[in-house]
Structure 1
Amino acid sequence: MPSSDLMLEGLTLMVFGMGFVFTFLTLLVFATKSMSAIVLRLSPVEELVMEAPVTMAQPSQNVANDPQLMAVLSAAVHRYRQDH
């Protein structure tokens, strides 16, 4: 078999293979889009309720109101300053 015939068969096989892959991927995209549209029609989208962001002031207010925690923190700071 001459090499030109082998090249022609190889190119033909490549074109058919790439054509099948392109066709399959195109059908896959259309199927995915249609399924997405069907699901959105059948089940309505729920609105998400955004909670207020937690501010950094809340934990410090809780710490200031806890005398035992304040005593422990003060002792830790005092010990750290003595060692360094």
Structure 2
Amino acid sequence: MENLLSEGLELMVFGMGFVVVFLTLLVFATSGMSKVVGKFFPEAPAQPKAKKTAPASAGNNNDELIAVMTAAVHKHRS
């Protein structure tokens, strides 16, 4: 019985050690690939987006928008 228990513990330690080594290698490989890709394909700096302005004819009148939203809410609730 003790032999079976020691073999089970040995197998568990071997399996867990293998997983730890594999995950460590995976982290290093992923980090290395990320650095290589970043070196050959650098990201362009983000361009600031221009603010959208309302058309001059619309002004600040949101009556049509409010009517459409109200109709959509009533349609959804019915």
Q: Aligned pair count?
A: 65
Which runs of no fewer than 5 residues in structure 2 stay unpaired? 68-78
Which has the larger helix fraction?
1
Q: How far does the alpha carbon of each residue in 1:39-82 deviate from its partner, in whole angstroms, 9 at most, with x for none?
A: 11111221111314547xx37x654599xxx7xx5xx7xxxxxx
Which of 24, 29, 35 is the matching residue for 2:22?
24
If the length of structure 2 is used for normalisation, what is the TM-score?
0.65
Write the letter of the residue equivalent to 1:12: E
Matching of residues 35-54 of structure 1 within 5 Å: 35-54=33-52
Q: Which one-letter code corresponds to 2:28 in the other structure?
A: F
Runs of 4+ in 1 over 2 A off after TM superposition: 52-55, 61-66
What's the TM-score, normalizing by structure 1?
Answer: 0.61
Pair 1:10-2:8 in alignment: yes
Larger Rg: 1
> Percent same amino acid among aligned pairs?
48
Gaps (5+ residues) in structure 1? Answer: 77-84
Q: How far, CA to CA, are the matches of 1:65 and 1:4 in structure 2?
A: 84
